[in-house]
Amino acid sequence: MSKQELVVLGRDGVEGCCPALLAAPLDDGQAEALAKVFKALGDPVRLRLLSMIASRAGGEVCVCDLTPAFDLSQPTISHHLKLLKQAGLIGSERRGTWVYYRLLPEMTDRLAATLTRPAGQPLSEATPAGAAS
Amino acid sequence: MSKQELVVLGRDGVEGCCPALLAAPLDDGQAEALAKVFKALGDPVRLRLLSMIASRAGGEVCVCDLTPAFDLSQPTISHHLKLLKQAGLIGSERRGTWVYYRLLPEMTDRLAATLTRPAGQPLSEATPAGAAS
DNA sequence: AGGTTGTATCGACAAACATCGATTCACTAG
DNA sequence: CTAGTGAATCGATGTTTGTCGATACAACCT
């Protein structure tokens, strides 16, 4: 079911590879899809969740290990995990009583590519450091 | 004034280089600062603005070229530009009657690095494709 | 000075969001 | 089958955010 979500994101969402944020103007659909993913990253709790999941040796974290790391209720953590999952950033698997989350590196790779500017960027010709206020 | 904002972000915010989202758990301050920048990217209008600014040959765009590209009021565009600026993603310069915006590539470079996972990531040992739902 | 044009700020309002407690669902163990 | 535990969903609530019109500010040009 959530695999489907990923497929959708891959199809009419962030699509083929990298929308190239910095190389050409995004069309409206690309912007909408990309914004959803960045919005998922735009919360400190979700960023910490993601980094805890991504940096865990073995690649998996049990929800039962994530929840007590925050001063938030269990439903709130569950909600944040759901948003990260809907953004295609993480996936989950139930094993017995417990649910394990893991990073889906395809999405972070895609975002990194999106934010990388093409070879010789025509910026800062006469703009050495922080000339623009 | 907004240069100051950038400095602040550089100091106790995203800091030195890359908080390494995917390599180690973020501390609370890092997460808070990073979230602000991602939040700025979490809106389709701002993404389109940023991509229009970044992809413009010469590196500069006049606000007067940006505003008519949207079905939104001038104050709304101004507001979005302000948020992008406060996030350290763009800078502005007034020349005569017009104000020009440009990309500050330091920030996008930093974000790209943040989303890049370290060399041999311990993921997907037994997870070929999209095993996790 | 006075008028004109481009941009930013202000105040208001509706929609979206983060959070919680209560409940329900999924699974395991007696 | 009946607890008991981990996780997700549901409703409600206070806060944040995107948007607008009105207004103020900045620079140019008579």
The mean of the pLDDT values for chain A is 84
Q: What is the rounded average pLDDT of the residues A73-87? A: 98
Residues with CB under 7 A from strand D: A 62-64, 67, 74-75, 78-79, 81-82, 92, 97-99; B 39, 42-43, 45, 71-73, 75-76, 79-80, 83, 94, 96-97
Is a pLDDT exceeding 60 seen at residue B103? yes
CA distance B28 to A43: 11
Distances (CA, A) of A84 to A37, A40, B53, B74: 8, 6, 28, 33
Mean pLDDT lowest for which of A8-22, A53-67, B69-83?
A8-22
B-chain CB neighbours of A102 within 8 Å are 123, 127, 132
For chain A, which domains are there?
2-114 (1.10.10.10)
Count CB neighbours of B14 within 10 A.
Answer: 22
* Of B64 and A6, the one with more pLDDT: B64
Digit-coded pLDDT (tens) for A1-31: 444 444 434 443 444 566 789 999 999 999 9
Q: Is-contact A93 A102, C-beta < 8 A?
A: yes
Distance CA B107, CA A21 (A): 14
Phi and psi at A61, nearest 5°, equal -135, 135
b/e burial code for range A75-112 (CB count within 10 A of at least 16 → b): eebeebbebbbbbbbbbbeeeeeebbbbbbbbbbebbb
pLDDT at A44: 98
A118 — pLDDT class (breaks 50, 70, 90): confident
